[in-house]
Amino acid sequence: MNKKIEELHEENVHLSIKCNELESYHENYQFAKPTEAEYLKNVLYRYMAERETLGKEIVTIAKVIGTVAKFTNEQLDLVIKKEEARHQTWLGVNGSMGILRSTKLNIRRTGNIMTGEKPTSTLRLDSGKELVYASESAVKSNIVSNGFSQLTASHTQHSDLESGIYEGGLKVWEENHLKQDYFVGKKVFELGCGGALPTILALALGAEYAVVNDFNQFVLESFTSPNFKLNRIPSEKWSMVPGSWSSLLSDEKIQRKGFSVYFFDVIFSTETIYNEQNYVALHDAMDALLSASGSIFIAAKVYYFGLGTSIAAFESFVKNKVSSKSMSGGPHLQVYQEKC
């Protein structure tokens, strides 16, 4: 026990020294805009990389260092989001190898409060392509103006998800660079869409039509729909379906649109494998909606700390499904993995 206490003390001293170094860096460098403090952030990244830590611990360290180094809230928020995304992986299902690549994010906010224009954020990809999405303040305003309760707005403010109530649809997870010609003429479905940025990009790159699904109706109306409009995607090229994944297998909303099983060429799903209890519904929805020659792209973290789930767990689940369906001769998904 004494040895452990000594180790923790040494670690604390080391952290204090690093924090003092960062504070001196901050005093010697001036930045025109908060989000352009790249030098200071790079020092932070190098320090955290040396520690070789993951998950909540590294985020806590980021908060400590960011506070001592006098980060603004905007700087600190961006740093933490980028750190959380460092351990994110794209899974490609059914021959999707090589389509997705990691990207560096450059997020900027626009809008004119004086004219009443709602502020937006812009996601810039390495390819130069930009996607615009509603900012946090705009989403909160939309939630209220669309008739959802103020309680709903406050409930989602401090939580990424609450199982069965709110499934994280208002958070923008890190998106990736896509091949320019892959989506031309494709029919796209996104499960657990949130902001639906992958689908919006696919439509901008030539996809024929898209359907997006999120667990929460208020997410679709207050966040998803505005993002399509901000990116000038024609309304006839997309539609939204609320509800759980299990409901999609018999949802009349989909049937009325003329869709059937094995209809979609591309399925997106971002940050949806954090709960093993949802694996069956997620897998079955994908299996039912995907065309025989289609591809599925799943974005997920390698490990979900505190939840006990991981990419490996989902891979194992799908492979077991593949084995059972192969024996019965039915259609099935195949798993390919590409790390960013």
Q: Which residue has the higher pLDDT, 188 or 99?
A: 188
Pair 181, 206: CB distance under 8 Å: yes
Pair 62, 83: CB distance under 8 Å: yes
Query: Is 99 found in the same domain as 50?
Result: no
Query: Is 18 found in the same domain as 95?
Result: no
**CATH classification of the domain holding 286:** 3.40.50.150
Can you give the residue range of the structural domain that contains 50?
A: 2-85
CA 160 to chain CA mean position, Å? 11
Instruction: Kindly tell me the sign of the dihedral angle through the C-alpha atoms of 318, 188, 84, 92.
Output: positive
The answer to the question of residue 312 being in a domain is: yes
Angle at 59 between CA 312 and CA 108, to 5 degrees: 100
**Mean pLDDT throughout 216-240?**
91
Q: Which residue has the higher pLDDT, 304 or 117?
A: 304
**Of 123, 165, 100, nearest in space to 296 by CA:** 100
**Mean pLDDT throughout 111-119?**
40
Per-residue model confidence as pLDDT tens digits over 237-262 = 999 999 888 888 765 656 655 566 56
**Mean pLDDT throughout 90-108?**
35
72 — alpha (psi -120 to 50), left (phi > 0) or beta?
A: beta
The answer to the question of residue 11 being in a domain is: yes
Query: Is 190 found in the same domain as 290?
Result: yes
